[in-house]
Amino acid sequence: AQTVTQSQPEMSVQEAETVTLSCTYDTSESNYYLFWYKQPPSRQMILVIRQEAYKQQNATENRFSVNFQKAAKSFSLKISDSQLGDTAMYFCAFMTYNYGQNFVFGPGTRLSVLP
């Protein structure tokens, strides 16, 4: 079974600083995809960043980047220059073709950006 673990239920960061959210996963698959989704107070699920497991290069999207360590099954999200609008719940998610293309989500990390 695939599982996703996020060990930090809550985190806070000062505006303009950098924060890293942790995610580990467990799978026997070799080909899979990893995602970070953001859920602001509006509760909509918004894609932040994605990573293909077969790509060694870490994905980046503006202020968001990941540190993907395949051997360690770790997929952390770094947010640089944190903004108040980054305050949200962040979910790490895993997907593989062999699991019906369905997401397995982690329990989430609630991030608060403080002014």
Partner 1 sequence: EPEVTQTPSHQVTQMGQEVILRCVPISNHLYFYWYRQILGQKVEFLVSFYNNEISEKSEIFDDQFSVERPDGSNFTLKIRSTKLEDSAMYFCASSEGSLEYGYTFGSGTRLTVV
Binding mask 85-114 for partner 1 (x = CB under 8 A): ------x-x-xxx--xxxxxxxxx------
84 three-state secondary structure: helix
CA dist list (Å): 43 to 39, 52, 82: 5, 26, 20
DSSP summary character for residue 65? E
Is 52 one of the binding residues for partner 1 (CB under 8 A)?
yes
**What is d(CA 76, CA 63) in angstroms, rounded to the nearest whole number?**
14
Is 33 one of the binding residues for partner 1 (CB under 8 A)?
yes
Cβ-based nearer residue to partner 1, 32 or 82: 32
Binding site for partner 1 (CB under 8 A): 33, 35, 37, 42-47, 50, 52, 91, 93, 95-97, 100-108
